[in-house]
Every structure is written in C-alpha cells, then in structure tokens.
Amino acid sequence: EVEGTELVLATTNGTPAIVAAAQRAELVLMGCLLNLDALLAAIPSGVSVTVVCSGTDGRFALEDAYVAGRIVGRLAGEPSDAARAAICVAGAYPGAIGPLTDSADGQKLQSTGQEADIAWCAQESVLDLVPRVTSDGADAPVVGAPPPESVPTGQSNSQSLMNKVVSPTCMF
C-alpha cells in the first residue's frame, strides 16, 4: 500500500531527461499510453510541444517511439521530421502490444515472466493523472500531481485537438 506515501523514482534515462527538460521548458508533463487522453487535454493551446523519448541506456527505444507517435499523431500543427518518424512507427502497428513486446526492453521483460506488466502498459487512456514538474526543488525537479485548480474540467476525451499545438516535434 503506497497511498499517501512519497515515492522516489530514479531511472537511468528518464530522470536525466526530466531534469534537462525542467531546465529548458516552462511546463514539463509526463505521459504514456496509460494517460494519453489526459496528457493531450493538459497541453495548453497554442504552444510548441517537444516529446522527449528518453530511451534505454542512452539508446533509441522502440516503445518510446511508438508512444511518441501516438502523442504527436493526435496533435495539430506541422510535425518535425522526428515527429513524422514517430508517427510512422506508431502507424506500423495495429495496437500497442506489438511494439511493447517487440522492443528490446519488452524482450527482457518477457524473459523474466513479466508479460502482465507489458499488457498493463499497453492499455490506452485508463488513467486521468498527468504528472508534471511542480518546482525545480533544491537540486532536482519535483514531479507531482497538478494542483486541482489547474486540471481542466468538463473536457471530453474525444474533444478536437485542432489548433492545440504549433509544431510538434520529438527528440530521440
């Protein structure tokens, strides 16, 4: 049971990507397939969006490119070439389970019997929480839930995202 408990998560690539993004961007949101609709609803209108794929051990990760493609494919604006590549990766699969199991990380998880974890992560838009950097802390960003007043209300998950983003791009 972790409810009400402060958790600290440090990863080899994700944590440095969050720290770097927090130093350069006014708003840093964390997203995945699980919170896809909520993430898209949390992006302010009229901003440029960069999706940062943190990868694995400093290398490209198929599952990151797939998720980036699912994100930028639903944003308006003229995508960068990297965003177009991510959209192509996402379009190459009929669903999320394929790239998540085909990836090197997916292969490692399967080899240790963690297929259920992959299946859980392959679900789309089942969570409404969008973690974001809430401050830059003493030496590192602090990631948490947004304050209640900043969460959009009355928005449909199927609302149009036209004119939402100026120019989506991806960083691999």
- Please state the rounded mean pLDDT for residues 12-34: 89
| Residue spans per domain, the chain | 14-93+127-171
C-alpha distance across the termini of the chain, in Å: 35
pLDDT digit string, tens, across residues 63-94:
999 999 999 999 998 999 999 999 999 999 99
Question: Residue 69: its pLDDT value, please?
Answer: 97
pLDDT digit string, tens, across residues 27-39:
999 999 999 999 9
Predicted confidence (pLDDT) at residue 158 exceeds the cutoff of 80 = no
Question: Residue 51: its pLDDT value, please?
Answer: 94
Contact 58, 106 (CB under 8 A): no
SS (H, E, C) the chain: CCCCCCCCCCCCCHHHHHHHHHHHCCCCECCCHHHHHHHHHHCCCCECCEEECCCECCECCHHHHHHHHHHHCCCCCCCCHHHHHHHHHHHCCCCCHHHHHHCHHHHHHHHCCCHHHHHHHCCCCCCCCCCEEEECCCCCCEEECCCHHHCCCCCCCCCCCCCCECCCEEEC
Name the residue with higher pLDDT: 96 or 2.
96
Question: Residue 18: its pLDDT value, please?
Answer: 86
pLDDT band at 9 (very low <50, low <70, confident <90, very high): confident
Q: Tell whether pTM > 0.75.
A: yes
pLDDT band at 61 (very low <50, low <70, confident <90, very high): very high
pLDDT digit string, tens, across residues 86-143:
999 999 999 999 999 999 999 999 999 999 999 999 999 999 999 898 765 556 667 7
Predicted confidence (pLDDT) at residue 42 exceeds the cutoff of 90 = yes
